[in-house]
Structure 1
Amino acid sequence: MLRSGTVIRLHELQASGKSIREITRETGHSRNTIRKYLRADGIPEPRSRKKRSSKLDPFKSVLDQYLAKGIFNCEVLLRLLKDRGYTGSITIIKDYVKPHRPPKQAPAVQRYETKAGHQAQVDWKICEYIDLNGEVRKIAVFAMVLGYSRAMYIEFTKRCDIHSFLRCMMNALDYFGGVPKTMLTDQMKTVILGMGDDRKPKWHPLFEDFAAAIGMVPKVCRVRRPQTKGKVERSVQFVEQNFMPGRQFTDLGDLNRQARQWCDEQNRRIHGTTGERPIDRLEQEMFGSLPPAERLAKYRFEPRKASRDGFVSYDGVRYGVPWRFSGREVKVREVNGFVEIFYEKQLIARHEKQYRSRTLVMCENQYTNLSTAQGYAYPKPQGIQVPSQDVEVRPLDVYERLMEVGA
């Protein structure tokens, strides 16, 4: 069958006065073909061919019964039809079944709307960036989304451990201005150590203590049911696909400053589901009050051990402490852009937070009097030499009595 453009060309050649023979010579089509298209009104419809019989024809009624029962696996259908005497191939079965096969679909779920102040959803996400050397690096982002208002908070960290999680939690609650009744998470290893025989989660003791201290009930969603916490799932995907692509930053501190500004912008936009701004609905959230800072202070500390040369490692940076605390167990916390190091309850060093890995930050007077003390924080036990006249002179009978007692 000739294309419509070719048919138009034939009519144009005829209109120009050319004969059938000339058109045949110019186009290469046979005379009969040219005459057929020139005589037809428009493009001739193709003749319908007589449908050939198929080996499947006698079995189509039986096949329809199997399809009605939800059997669409062609391997299974081939076996069932062969039991009934079918001798054809599986190909014609596939061709027959294809238009009857239902589309793939996920099971329907009921939408769940959260009451104001009732729930927060949290999750981790691993994003990627290109460092100064052109290498691809990974970085973790913590995300919390409030179920009612859809207000969002994100924070990037170098680690996904329990201490980073608690620090991000406290920063998020401070950002929102209160504590929701429940917190929903998946079975992240950061806060869940495993499942007990009663199928209840074994929470990390530090997180369990933290949740009790702020008055929040932790809950875990079902395994392989990410839609249970779909609000935060969509948010972390939004961070990966919307916030990170092409984002330029100098260090982790700069990245988090941009992340905070981005959260402010997103929370002031109309949400696609609620049709309202999250920041407006945030005012309707009925939160519990934030605990006093003194109650939360202990959850900001991380245990560390000072090295022999007087440094404490934190997020890949070595911060100096006075040499007298070398080799001792200390506690580190990050507050308002500063890293504070404590020995018991004593603040022994305070440094501005650094973000470049392997940076060495000295402490003021870190090694003062180190040489004089020969590296020891406490003097070695030593005897004392005194002048000879200061030595007590005892009579000889004193020593004889001591000998008798020994005997």
Structure 2
Amino acid sequence: MGRCLLIKRETRVLLVHYLEQGLSKSAIAERLGIDRRTIHRWIAAGQLAPDVETGLLPEPARRQSRPAKLAPFEAILRTRLDAYPELSSVRLFEEIRAAGYAGGYTQVKEFVRGIRPQPAPDPVVRFETEPGVQGQVDFAEVRLPWGKRYALLVVLGYSRLLWLRFFPRQDMRTLFSGLEEAFAFFGGVPKELLFDQMASVITADLRDQGERLVANAEFLRFAAHWGFRVRACRPYRARTKGKVERPIRYLRENFLYGRDFLGDADLDAQAKAWLDSVANVRVHRTTGEQPWARFQAQEQHHLLPLAERPYRSLILLPSEPAAPVVQRTGRVEVEKRPLQTYARLAGGAA
């Protein structure tokens, strides 16, 4: 209440200042975000004249509270909400009206809002992993002037070192290619990769039903080739990925927003420069260290070694080359003549 009074007093001080400057009451009301009738009421009540001794504006008069019709029924409402915290205001209104309440619904709704027990929010648990244990993978859809692109991001959980690249498609071939580039960038492979229910990785998640996570068989072969385990966030529980600064939001706000790109080549060049000069050398607010320095000093030597060769899929077909552009030629008109003409020409030539 004290803070509200302070705000109102400051508003009235500004109001007096604007009145002395000659501003209209409508203009003042718009500037201060108050109703014009409030200004008239304060002037009529003498609340804009400072106290002679203190020099302060008087506090606004408080409304006299009238005995509410709800008072005899408040104990019933409290008892019901203690037993059933999720009872709606409409249901409670009906119950006390049956018990003799003659007031309106608004009083009940405001009273219930003030006393309803609020469940304690689930604690946000930050899951930290040891060096080299976990990487996290996400796709982000990006709309650019020349078309839609998909940013693949891979973040190492311990150092927060980030790798990213933009692709024209979001499919398994893209995922394989991107992850292999990320492993080469890191110089090794984390022991596990965490995905956010990515369709090309997870085919079914039945863990909430007491069963198991079902991963795509082809992706499991890819994981076995590189030596990492596949993990996935539970559906609608992205909080399990919350230990790493939201990489997609960071990409959108710190890299994409406010930049112009000339095309895919320029997009890739700017992204690489941003990783090298901003994303991986800033002081991370959670670790208090630069991701690149933390990676080199504490994580790089914990990664699994790279495979001897890229993964060769027996299912995915090789990428098709771009179709050649066929240049259309104009139609050649052939003059048609009777056969006798050709016979005479042949006879003459003989």
**Equivalents in 2 of 1:189, 1:39: separation in Å?**
71
**Equivalents in 2 of 1:361, 1:263: separation in Å?**
41
Displacement, 1:81? 1.6
* Residues 270-311 of structure 1 deviation map (CA, whole Å, 9 limit, x = unaligned): 111000111122122210100112xx152599525xxxxxxx
* Residues 147-172 of structure 1 deviation map (CA, whole Å, 9 limit, x = unaligned): 10100111110111100000000000
Shift in alpha-carbon separation, 1:260–1:102, aligned structure 2, 3 A = farther
Displacement, 1:245? 1.5
Shift in alpha-carbon separation, 1:75–1:33, aligned structure 2, 3 A = closer
Displacement, 1:71? 4.6
Q: What residue number does 1:93 align with? A: 108
Q: What residue number does 1:186 align with? A: 196
1:268 corresponds, among 254, 275, 281, to 281
Displacement, 1:95? 2.6
The amino acid across from 1:113 in the alignment is: E
The amino acid across from 1:58 in the alignment is: P
Q: What residue number does 1:203 align with? A: 215
Q: What residue number does 1:149 align with? A: 159
Q: What residue number does 1:213 align with? A: 225
Q: What residue number does 1:308 align with? A: none
**Equivalents in 2 of 1:226, 1:171: separation in Å?**
25
Displacement, 1:33? 7.8
Secondary structure of the structure 2 residue equivalent to 1:261: helix
Shift in alpha-carbon separation, 1:236–1:300, aligned structure 2, 3 A = farther
Secondary structure of the structure 2 residue equivalent to 1:61: helix
The amino acid across from 2:308 in the alignment is: P
Q: What residue number does 2:69 align with? A: 55
Q: Is the 8 A contact 1:124 1:141 kept in 2?
A: yes
Secondary structure of the structure 1 residue equivalent to 2:246: helix
Q: Is the 8 A contact 1:140 1:158 kept in 2?
A: yes
The amino acid across from 2:132 in the alignment is: G
Question: Which consecutive unaligned segments of at least 5 residues does structure 2 have?
Answer: 1-11, 21-39, 328-350
The amino acid across from 2:282 in the alignment is: R
Secondary structure of the structure 2 residue equivalent to 1:128: strand
Shift in alpha-carbon separation, 1:264–1:199, aligned structure 2, 3 A = farther
Secondary structure of the structure 1 residue equivalent to 2:178: helix
**Equivalents in 1 of 2:185, 2:93: separation in Å?**
62
Alignment of structure 1 residues 78-157 onto 2, 5 Å: 78-100=93-115, 106-131=121-146, 137-157=147-167
Q: What residue number does 2:3 align with? A: none
Answer yes or no: is 1:291 the counterpart of 2:301: no
**Equivalents in 2 of 1:258, 1:301: separation in Å?**
34
Shift in alpha-carbon separation, 1:149–1:299, aligned structure 2, 3 A = farther
Q: What residue number does 1:370 align with? A: none
> Looking at both structures, which has the greater relative contact order when contacts are Cα pairs under 8 Å and sequence separation is at least 6?
2
Q: What residue number does 2:28 align with? A: none
The amino acid across from 1:257 in the alignment is: A
Higher helix share: 2
The count of residues paired between Structure 1 and Structure 2 equals 283
Secondary structure of the structure 2 residue equivalent to 1:163: helix
Q: Is the 8 A contact 2:127 2:243 kept in 1?
A: no
Alignment of structure 1 residues 344-355 onto 2, 5 Å: none
**Equivalents in 2 of 1:164, 1:181: separation in Å?**
21
Secondary structure of the structure 1 residue equivalent to 2:241: helix
Q: What residue number does 1:230 align with? A: 242
Q: What residue number does 1:64 align with? A: 78
* Residues 333-365 of structure 1 deviation map (CA, whole Å, 9 limit, x = unaligned): xxxxxxxxxxxxxxxxxxxxxxxxxxx499xxx
Displacement, 1:47? 5.8
Answer yes or no: is 1:170 the counterpart of 2:187: no
Secondary structure of the structure 2 residue equivalent to 1:159: coil
Shift in alpha-carbon separation, 1:299–1:89, aligned structure 2, 3 A = same
**Equivalents in 2 of 1:186, 1:47: separation in Å?**
56
Q: What residue number does 1:384 align with? A: none
Secondary structure of the structure 2 residue equivalent to 1:303: coil
The amino acid across from 2:236 in the alignment is: R
Q: Is the 8 A contact 1:192 1:201 kept in 2?
A: yes
Displacement, 1:260? 2.0
Displacement, 1:200? 2.5
**Equivalents in 2 of 1:109, 1:46: separation in Å?**
43
* Residues 115-158 of structure 1 deviation map (CA, whole Å, 9 limit, x = unaligned): 01100110111112223xxxxx3211101111101001111101
* Residues 349-400 of structure 1 deviation map (CA, whole Å, 9 limit, x = unaligned): xxxxxxxxxxx499xxxxxxxxxxxxxxxxxxxxxxxxxxxxxxxxxxxxxx
Displacement, 1:255? 1.4
